[in-house]
Structure 1
Amino acid sequence: MYSFYGTWPWYISGFLIGTVMLLLIYFGKTFGMSSNLRTLCSISGAGKFSDFFRFDWKAQRWNLVVVLGAMIGGFIAVHYLSDGSGVNLNPATVAQLNAMNIDAPHGNLLPELFTSSETIFTPKIFGFLLFGGLLVGFGSRYAGGCTSGHAITGMSNLQLPSLIAVIGFFVGGLIAAHFLLPLIF
């Protein structure tokens, strides 16, 4: 069986993302993952409590298929198209994490501190994840979309608001990683 070693080359991932974007543009659709949360809330009846969730969610069913495809594609990529080594971090990043008493993720996307059943419900980590989730949810709504919607769809359509949003995402991430995270840990 063929497998990629390490991460996929940029030219394969970029080509696949570009192909999906061309297909979406051809069919008159826009891509974004955060809008699916609104669709799922609408399906579950949140429209009874808020006008924001009152819309024709059936027109967005195709986007739920995109989420399902992303999950299935991720499963296939991890289990059949990789060597299982996971993500390799830069040694300088590992050293910075160690300086904050955070173990390196050892191939995972997140350190065990944020995902283990022993630590996830400690007040500090639970509060960190809850506050971060609220900021991401509020931020994606305030920015009119998430990182994937702005960075992939908006910037490929040369939309200035998407460029501004993506610059904001990166600046916010850098501030959080280099200033806030060391203060918290």
Structure 2
Amino acid sequence: MHQIKFMEYISQPWPWYISGPSIAIIMFLLLYFGRTFGMSSNLRTMCAIGGAGKRVEFFKFDWRNQLWNLVVVLGAVVGGFIAQYGLTSPEPIDLSASTISDLEALGFNNAGANLLPPELFSWDAVLSFKGLAILLIGGFLVGFGTRYAGGCTSGHAITGLSSLQLPSLIAVIGFFVGGLIMIHLIFPILF
């Protein structure tokens, strides 16, 4: 009985008073030890490990100093696996009626039935011409934007804002504006 209650509890999103302070503690520790957090820096490290520094100056750096940050990638993969196969509840997601109708208008059937809608995340959708084009174009735009902005959303929004950096605030505002343009203007055209 208690195990069922515990599984129901951990399969729900964590409340802000647990997740927010947890992020703050991690950021304090990273800043204290002179480290920064961001997923895009891991991509640079992996490219440097693979030998990209032989051809591109950007990847010529001592990647061994960044091995600790690859633990973040491992944690994201392991955490995603645990969330999908250990913490996922079979209950439908509790969405408002207006959200369900908005998603149905965009072509999502059974909105809220799955955490990842099959219209976007099934192999059929991903391996279609449109799915592959979106992945390639979107991947290029994300890579270009990350390099142009000097970091990714997690780096700017978590590390940059917590250390009160004005360029990070500008980047985060840009991310939000870009997200609003995407979801309200571009996404309805694509789907």
Q: 1:25: Cα distance to partner?
A: 1.1
Cα gap change, 1:100/1:65 in structure 2, threshold over 3 Å: closer, same or farther? same
> 2: distance between equivalents of 1:95 and 1:136?
29
SS across alignment from 1:119: helix
Count of matched residue pairs:
184
> 2: distance between equivalents of 1:167 and 1:94?
27
Cα gap change, 1:125/1:75 in structure 2, threshold over 3 Å: closer, same or farther? closer
Structure with a larger share of its residues in helix: 2
> 1: distance between equivalents of 2:91 and 2:164?
36
What is residue 46 of structure 2 aligned with on the other side?
40
Q: 1:160: Cα distance to partner?
A: 0.5
Cα gap change, 1:32/1:55 in structure 2, threshold over 3 Å: closer, same or farther? same
1:140 aligns with 2:162: no
Identity %: 57
1:157-168 equivalent positions in 2, closer than 5 A: 157-168=163-174
1:106 aligns with 2:140: no
What is residue 76 of structure 2 aligned with on the other side?
70
- Consecutive unaligned residues of structure 1, counting only runs of 5 or more, are none
SS across alignment from 1:6: coil
Q: Is 1:105–1:112's contact at 8 Å kept on the other side of the alignment?
A: no
Please report the TM-score for the alignment, with normalisation by the length of structure 2: 0.86
Q: 1:118: Cα distance to partner?
A: 1.6
Q: Is 1:6–1:86's contact at 8 Å kept on the other side of the alignment?
A: no
Q: 1:85: Cα distance to partner?
A: 4.4
1:179 aligns with 2:185: yes
Q: Is 2:92–2:112's contact at 8 Å kept on the other side of the alignment?
A: no
> C-alpha offsets along residues 41-71 of structure 1, whole Å, 9 cap, x if unaligned?
1101111221111111001011001221233
Q: Is 2:49–2:63's contact at 8 Å kept on the other side of the alignment?
A: yes
1:79-94 equivalent positions in 2, closer than 5 A: 79-80=85-86, 83=89, 85=91, 88-94=94-100
Match of 1:154 among 152, 160, 168: 160
> 1: distance between equivalents of 2:93 and 2:149?
29
Q: How large is the RMSD of aligned CA atoms in angstroms?
A: 2.0
What is residue 22 of structure 2 aligned with on the other side?
16
Q: Is 1:46–1:53's contact at 8 Å kept on the other side of the alignment?
A: yes
> 2: distance between equivalents of 1:15 and 1:92?
31
- Consecutive unaligned residues of structure 2, counting only runs of 5 or more, are none
What is residue 124 of structure 2 aligned with on the other side?
118
Cα gap change, 1:96/1:68 in structure 2, threshold over 3 Å: closer, same or farther? same
Cα gap change, 1:97/1:61 in structure 2, threshold over 3 Å: closer, same or farther? same
Cα gap change, 1:72/1:117 in structure 2, threshold over 3 Å: closer, same or farther? closer
> 2: distance between equivalents of 1:105 and 1:120?
20
Please report the TM-score for the alignment, with normalisation by the length of structure 1: 0.89
